[in-house]
Amino acid sequence: VKEAGRDFTYFIVVLVGIGVTGGLFYVIFKELFSSSSPSKIYGDALEKCRSHPEIIGVFGDSIKGYGEATRRGRRQFVSHIEYIKDGLKHMRLKFYIEGSETGKRGTVHVEVKENPERGRFEFRYIFVDIDTYPGRTIVIEDNR
């Protein structure tokens, strides 16, 4: 009886471990491969910035993007907010870009809106505020 109780305890511990591992894989898969994740939207918006001729003209060829700086100095967090308007999900993102031109930096503002027919987010607007002198705004996409 004592050994059976110990085996049952080990069985429960293994089941809990499998459950936790499965939950972690689900969260990681959803964050990396979902079309509605902030990471995916950030990647798509950054690619649109990298391929836009006016952005390339201001920042140069090799444009890199980054998020807010953490206390450790890492810039991986992309600021985003999700909200519901008229029964549809919306998301706004803000991240930063800089290019090969020295001293050129910009702030990218993105808004996406859920398309209920396709079940994925579509860009409403992307615009880049150039933070260095002379300051101006470049509109990449405006589908309002």
pTM listed for this prediction:
0.71
Predicted pLDDT of residue 75: 61
Give yes or no for residue 35 having a pLDDT over 70: no
Q: Spell out the CATH class of 36-142.
A: alpha beta
Band of residue 115 on the pLDDT scale cut at 50, 70, 90:
confident
Give yes or no for residue 76 having a pLDDT over 80: no
Give yes or no for residue 40 having a pLDDT over 80: yes
Band of residue 74 on the pLDDT scale cut at 50, 70, 90:
low
Residues 85-105, mean pLDDT to the nearest whole number: 90
Whether the Cβ atoms of residue 5 and residue 90 lie closer than 8 Å to each other: no
* Domain residue spans of the chain: 1-34, 36-142
